[in-house]
């Protein structure tokens, strides 16, 4: 019997799922994993069919409404993916429909919107005249369009008309406001292709038809767009030739052009070293076992990890299985990409946010249809819809960009563990500076540790020196100046790393102490010289840079703290004859500008490259022999228990960029904290030493990997209400602790979040810490359900951040 009821997870922030009746005509087609449109609270929304039932669950029979529309012909998600999505929804306390949305390419979900149209009464009033001027203006526009979305109307008449005004006109009978579907869906792109069918050429055809036919015959198959480039208006002859049966015309799905051709130098395929051979042997055993086999490759920069990934994938492909490769910010690593392209050619799909919506959709479909066996991308590639994943590789597994910081706050590395486990696949985490969690897991035997202690060909790691900036004046120490100068003379290249963009960090009036703050965020504005502005790096608020102090009219405004823009200027004035480049968000905002800078670096037309952490990512340029860290202190002071770890990782990775070629590399780290263990251990490339020094701190303070954290953050428009809600949350938390959680859970706060205001919203938080994930999750669920009632309609949101910890 055909199932009559479908369970739907709507793509909205609601935890519950809902049941709908399936209309007769849909029953043959609707399957689990397809998208449907369903009525929901007076709107129409997209949801995902997650189960089919014979009967409605008890107690909801009479309330059931019907599915309005079915959007897909084939399921977008299979049962394996659904199981994965369910796990994530559970772990991160995030609605299933929203989790699924996160995993699908953008542009697949249709949005329900309120649509305005004029009533007869409204039309009459418009024709008769005598309306208020603004009413007349708005009605005219609605009348002109017939139908227009409420959102668009508000945008069109911003500052002139409000939502409540529109609704009052509805009450007066001038307007209809209905739920409708805004169709902005991305669709596959098709092109017409023409094929030669053979047959008799001697049939009577014109000269032009003959030319067209001959050309197609030569090529066998051509696209219509090629054809129209070659011949003027080819439609007519085509039609005739088709009618004669000489040609056939069909439609073919095409991929929107993707610039993934390797543009950098090709990489030959090397023979593995004996170290690589040994590591690979282990991994291949894991792959052949077809069981969950997690590995952590701990290998210094340049030790040949990437070559191991490539060969492991070859093994997986040979088994008829698929591979997912996660890399941090793939758009920043064209070198890595071209190595994969060189090895696997077209068998590779790319998923990352640097692609346009259409491109991303096409790449996703190539995976979904099974056209490719390898998916490579940033964190969201973990949702690649493969059916038979044999390996998941996570390069630079410690990288913070694997954590999504908004909406669903998943950590790609951690969910990768789960996906690999569910798929009984091999998991390969790789890093020169593994996250503390992963290394701890390896120590505990949860991951197999594979060590590559040496660089390829025994190239030594760079020699690193620490400069105590308390004893130096200026931005650049003598030591760094000398090193840069020497490199210029030797025709070698240098990198200068500074983790802050802009000219000055902030501007201060020395007469009255005034600084410029962002009105939306609790930060100071950064001074940018190029467009003479002060900018907020969090919300993009910007104002022209002032000449005088607006408070005391003083003339002595001063830039404090330096950014990459200032550093670049400084270097240019120190070495006027030298080619200096800069790479940060400001110089790479245009598409491909990043690649242009790297190409200039590769070809040697940049001698010194100044940049933010963008320059740290996996580039391998043999002629770079010197790296200077202008300030190691920014990340050290960040209010986060991982700040020491991040600093160590960053410094080790930056220094690792030096000396990848024949010449011994050198690095200098400038700091005001020369005795800090993060800095000293990075100087010695001593990961194990750092790990052993950091672990006792984590243990003493009960931080991961010794505990799990859940942060409950309240974000609201009103300062007072957000604070009130936070206090309420604190009370609920206390009661829960008293009732049953007091033993296993510790609660910190509520208190204002580290950035108390962000993008115009006020932020409070409460942190729960505990060793048992089950207990912590139960506690969290109770907080969420307790707060759901409180929050309803108050303009405050509860945002939950489950700290990624080991989940095996």
The minimum distance between CB 541 and Zn ion, in angstroms, equals 5
Q: Which stretch binds ligand ADP (CB under 6 A): 266-274, 362-370, 695-703, 795-803?
A: 266-274
262 touches ligand ADP by CB under 6 A = no
Q: Residues 303, 333, 363, 652: which binds ligand ADP (CB under 6 A)?
A: 303
- At 411 the three-state DSSP class reads strand
Residue (338 or 711) nearer to ligand ADP, CB = 338
Q: How many residues bind ligand ADP (CB under 6 A)?
A: 16
Let me know the angle formed at the C-alpha of 277 by 274 and 283, rounded to the nearest 5 degrees. 150
Token pair listed for 307: 């070559």
Residues 604-633 binding ligand ADP (CB under 6 A) are 620
The long-range contacts involving 532-539, CB below 8 angstroms and separated by at least 24 positions, are 534/507, 535/502, 537/501, 537/502, 538/755, 538/758, 538/759, 539/758, 539/759, 539/760
302 touches ligand ADP by CB under 6 A = yes
What character string, x for contact with ligand ADP (CB under 6 A) and - otherwise, covers 436-475?
Answer: --------------------x-------------------
Find which of Zn ion, ligand ADP, none residue 647 binds, CB within 5 to 8 Å per kind: none
Q: Which stretch binds ligand ADP (CB under 6 A): 147-155, 299-307, 546-554, 776-784?
A: 299-307
User: Can you give the length of the chain in residues?
Assistant: 808
Q: For residue 573, what is the enclosing H or E element? A: helix 564-574
Residue (222 or 518) nearer to Zn ion, CB = 518
The minimum distance between CB 521 and Zn ion, in angstroms, equals 3
Token pair listed for 286: 């894991």
Q: Residues 105, 122, 294, 304: which binds ligand ADP (CB under 6 A)?
A: 304
Residue (619 or 769) nearer to ligand ADP, CB = 619
| Interatomic CA distance for residues 289 and 304, integer angstroms | 24
Within 10 angstroms of residue 789's Cβ, the number of other Cβ atoms is 7
Token pair listed for 34: 């397809």
Q: Residues 23, 56, 107, 272: which binds ligand ADP (CB under 6 A)?
A: 272
DSSP string, 203-226: S---HHHHHHHHHHHHHSEEEHHH
434 touches ligand ADP by CB under 6 A = no
Whether the Cβ atoms of residue 742 and residue 783 lie closer than 8 Å to each other:
no
Q: Residues 306, 363, 505, 535: which binds ligand ADP (CB under 6 A)?
A: 306
The minimum distance between CB 517 and Zn ion, in angstroms, equals 9
The minimum distance between CB 273 and ligand ADP, in angstroms, equals 5
Find which of Zn ion, ligand ADP, none residue 306 binds, CB within 5 to 8 Å per kind: ligand ADP
The minimum distance between CB 656 and ligand ADP, in angstroms, equals 8
Residue (72 or 620) nearer to ligand ADP, CB = 620
Residue (501 or 617) nearer to ligand ADP, CB = 617
| Interatomic CA distance for residues 602 and 594, integer angstroms | 12
| Interatomic CA distance for residues 542 and 121, integer angstroms | 46
Q: Residues 13, 198, 245, 270: which binds ligand ADP (CB under 6 A)?
A: 270
Q: Which residues contact 59 (CB under 8 A, 6 or more apart)?
A: none
The residues facing 19 across adjacent strands are: 7
Q: Which residues contact 4 (CB under 8 A, 6 or more apart)?
A: 21, 22, 27, 53, 54, 55
Residue (301 or 535) nearer to ligand ADP, CB = 301
Find which of ligand ADP, Zn ion, none residue 281 binds, CB within 5 to 8 Å per kind: none
363 touches ligand ADP by CB under 6 A = no
156-172 in b/e form (b: 16+ CB < 10 A) is ebeeebeeeebeebbee
Q: Would residue 484 be called left, alpha or beta, if left means φ above 0 and alpha means ψ between -120 and 50 degrees?
A: alpha
Residue (447 or 677) nearer to ligand ADP, CB = 447
Q: Residues 31, 165, 176, 273: which binds ligand ADP (CB under 6 A)?
A: 273
Residue (303 or 535) nearer to ligand ADP, CB = 303
Residue (201 or 540) nearer to Zn ion, CB = 540
Q: Which stretch binds ligand ADP (CB under 6 A): 91-99, 141-149, 305-313, 463-471?
A: 305-313
Query: Is the preceding omega at residue 23 within 30 degrees of 0, hence cis?
Result: no
652 touches ligand ADP by CB under 6 A = no
541 touches Zn ion by CB under 5 A = yes
Whether the Cβ atoms of residue 74 and residue 369 lie closer than 8 Å to each other:
no
Q: Which stretch binds ligand ADP (CB under 6 A): 55-63, 300-308, 736-744, 763-771?
A: 300-308
The minimum distance between CB 60 and Zn ion, in angstroms, equals 46
What character string, x for contact with Zn ion (CB under 5 A) and - otherwise, covers 258-297?
Answer: ----------------------------------------
Find which of Zn ion, ligand ADP, none residue 620 binds, CB within 5 to 8 Å per kind: ligand ADP
Q: For residue 136, what is the enclosing H or E element? A: helix 133-145
Q: Residues 15, 292, 538, 672: which binds Zn ion (CB under 5 A)?
A: 538
520 touches Zn ion by CB under 5 A = yes
521 touches Zn ion by CB under 5 A = yes
Token pair listed for 67: 């599915």
Q: Which stretch binds Zn ion (CB under 5 A): 65-73, 177-185, 521-529, 588-596?
A: 521-529
Find which of ligand ADP, Zn ion, none residue 799 binds, CB within 5 to 8 Å per kind: none
The minimum distance between CB 464 and ligand ADP, in angstroms, equals 17
Find which of Zn ion, ligand ADP, none residue 518 binds, CB within 5 to 8 Å per kind: Zn ion
536 touches Zn ion by CB under 5 A = yes
Find which of Zn ion, ligand ADP, none residue 536 binds, CB within 5 to 8 Å per kind: Zn ion
Q: For residue 198, what is the enclosing H or E element? A: none
Residue (450 or 545) nearer to ligand ADP, CB = 450
Q: Which stretch binds Zn ion (CB under 5 A): 127-135, 443-451, 462-470, 517-525?
A: 517-525
DSSP state of 671: E
What residue ranges in 284-425 does DSSP mark as E strands?
293-299, 322-326, 348-351, 374-377, 389-394
Whether the Cβ atoms of residue 344 and residue 393 lie closer than 8 Å to each other:
no
Number of H helices, E strands in the chain: 23, 34
Pairing of strands 708-716, 796-802: antiparallel
HEC string for 306-340? HHHHHHHHHHHHHCCCEEEEECCCHHHCHHHHHHH
Find which of Zn ion, ligand ADP, none residue 302 binds, CB within 5 to 8 Å per kind: ligand ADP
281 touches ligand ADP by CB under 6 A = no
Sheet containing 111-118, strands listed edge to edge, beginning at the edge strand earlier in sequence: 148-149, 111-118, 175-182
Let me know the angle formed at the C-alpha of 228 by 222 and 233, rounded to the nearest 5 degrees. 130
Q: How many residues bind Zn ion (CB under 5 A)?
A: 7
450 touches Zn ion by CB under 5 A = no
Phi, psi of 420 (to 5 degrees): -60, -40
Q: Residues 64, 154, 449, 539: which binds Zn ion (CB under 5 A)?
A: 539
| Interatomic CA distance for residues 7 and 666, integer angstroms | 61
Token pair listed for 778: 């139960």
| Interatomic CA distance for residues 425 and 343, integer angstroms | 22
Q: Residues 85, 91, 174, 267: which binds ligand ADP (CB under 6 A)?
A: 267
Q: Residues 307, 359, 396, 645: which binds ligand ADP (CB under 6 A)?
A: 307
Q: For residue 677, what is the enclosing H or E element? A: helix 677-683
Percent helix, percent strand, percent coil in the chain, to nearest 5: 35, 25, 40
Which residues in this chain contact ligand ADP in the complex, by CB under 6 A?
267, 270-273, 276, 299, 301-307, 456, 620
Which residues in this chain contact Zn ion in the complex, by CB under 5 A?
518, 520-521, 536, 538-539, 541
């Amino acid at each position: 019997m055909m199932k009559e009821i479908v369970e739907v997870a709507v793509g909205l922030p609601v935890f519950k799922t809902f049941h709908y009746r399936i209309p007769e005509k849909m029953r043959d087609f609707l399957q689990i994993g397809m998208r449907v449109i369903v009525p929901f609270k007076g709107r129409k929304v997209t949801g995902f069919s997650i189960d089919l039932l014979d009967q409605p669950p008890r107690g909801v029979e009479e309330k059931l409404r019907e599915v309005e529309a079915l959007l897909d012909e084939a399921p977008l998600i299979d049962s394996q993916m659904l199981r994965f999505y369910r796990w994530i929804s559970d772990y991160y306390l995030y609605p299933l429909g929203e989790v699924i949305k996160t995993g699908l390419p953008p542009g697949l979900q249709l949005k329900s919107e309120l649509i305005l149209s004029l009533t007869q009464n409204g039309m009459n009033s418009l024709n008769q005249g005598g309306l208020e001027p603004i009413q007349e203006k708005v009605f005219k526009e609605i009348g002109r369009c017939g139908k227009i979305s409420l959102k668009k109307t508000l945008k069109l008449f911003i500052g002139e008309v409000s939502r409540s005004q529109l609704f009052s006109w509805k009450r007066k009978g001038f307007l209809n406001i209905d739920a409708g579907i805004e169709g902005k869906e991305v669709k596959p792109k098709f092109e017409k292709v023409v094929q030669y069918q053979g047959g008799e050429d001697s049939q009577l055809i014109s000269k032009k038809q003959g030319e067209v036919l001959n050309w197609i015959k030569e090529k066998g198959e051509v696209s219509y767009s090629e054809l129209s480039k070659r011949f003027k208006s080819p439609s007519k002859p085509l039609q005739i030739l088709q009618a004669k049966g000489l040609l056939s015309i069909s439609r073919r799905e095409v991929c929107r052009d993707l610039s993934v051709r390797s543009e950098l130098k090709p990489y030959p395929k090397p023979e593995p070293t004996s170290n690589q051979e040994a590591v690979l042997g282990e991994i291949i055993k894991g792959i052949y076992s077809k069981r969950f086999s997690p590995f952590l490759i701990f290998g210094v920069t340049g030790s040949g990890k990437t070559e191991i990934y490539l060969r492991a994938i070859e093994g997986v492909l040979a088994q008829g299985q698929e591979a997912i490769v996660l890399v941090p910010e793939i758009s920043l690593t064209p070198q890595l990409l071209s190595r994969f392209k060189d090895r696997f050619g077209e068998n590779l799909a790319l998923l990352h946010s640097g692609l346009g919506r259409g491109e991303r959709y096409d790449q996703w479909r190539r995976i979904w249809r099974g056209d490719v066996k390898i998916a490579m991308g940033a964190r969201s590639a973990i949702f690649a819809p493969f059916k038979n994943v044999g390996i998941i590789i996570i390069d630079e597994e410690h990288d913070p960009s694997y954590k999504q910081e908004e909406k669903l706050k998943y950590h790609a590395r951690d969910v990768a563990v789960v996906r690999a486990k569910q798929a009984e696949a091999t998991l390969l985490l790789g890093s020169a500076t593994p996250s503390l969690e992963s290394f701890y897991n390896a120590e505990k035997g949860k991951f197999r540790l594979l060590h590559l202690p040496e660089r390829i060909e025994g190239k030594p790691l760079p020699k690193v020196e620490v400069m105590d900036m308390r004893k130096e004046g200026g931005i650049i120490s003598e030591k760094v100046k000398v090193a840069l100068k020497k490199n210029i003379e030797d025709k070698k290249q240098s990198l200068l790393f500074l983790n802050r963009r802009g000219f000055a960090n902030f501007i201060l009036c020395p007469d009255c102490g005034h600084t410029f703050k962002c009105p939306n965020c609790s930060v100071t504005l950064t001074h940018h010289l190029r467009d003479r502005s002060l900018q907020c790096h969090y919300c993009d608020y910007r104002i022209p840079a002032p000449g005088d102090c607006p408070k005391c009219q003083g003339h002595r405004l001063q830039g404090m703290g330096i950014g990459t823009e200032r550093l670049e200027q400084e270097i240019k004035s120190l070495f006027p004859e030298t080619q200096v480049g800069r790479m940060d968000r400001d110089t790479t905002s245009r598409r491909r500008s990043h690649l242009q800078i790297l190409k200039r670096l590769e070809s040697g037309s940049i001698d010194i490259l100044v940049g933010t952490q963008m320059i740290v990512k996996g580039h391998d340029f043999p002629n770079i022999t010197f790296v200077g860290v202008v300030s190691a202190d920014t990340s050290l002071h960040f209010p986060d228990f991982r700040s020491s770890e991040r600093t160590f990782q960053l410094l080790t990775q930056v220094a690792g960029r030096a000396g990848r070629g024949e010449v011994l590399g050198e690095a200098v780290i400038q700091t005001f904290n020369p005795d800090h263990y993060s800095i000293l251990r990075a100087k010695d490339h001593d990961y194990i030493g750092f790990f052993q020094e950091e672990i006792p701190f984590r243990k003493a303070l009960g931080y991961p990997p010794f505990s799990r954290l859940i942060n409950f953050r309240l974000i609201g428009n009103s300062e007072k209400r957000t604070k009130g809600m936070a206090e309420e949350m604190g009370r609920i938390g206390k009661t829960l602790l008293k009732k049953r959680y007091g033993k296993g859970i510790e609660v910190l706060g509520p208190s204002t979040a580290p950035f108390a205001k962000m993008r115009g919203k006020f932020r409070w938080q409460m942190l729960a810490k505990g060793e048992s994930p089950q207990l912590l999750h139960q506690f969290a669920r109770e907080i969420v359900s307790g707060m759901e009632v409180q929050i309803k309609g108050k303009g405050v949101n509860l945002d939950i951040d489950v700290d990624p910890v080991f989940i095996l």
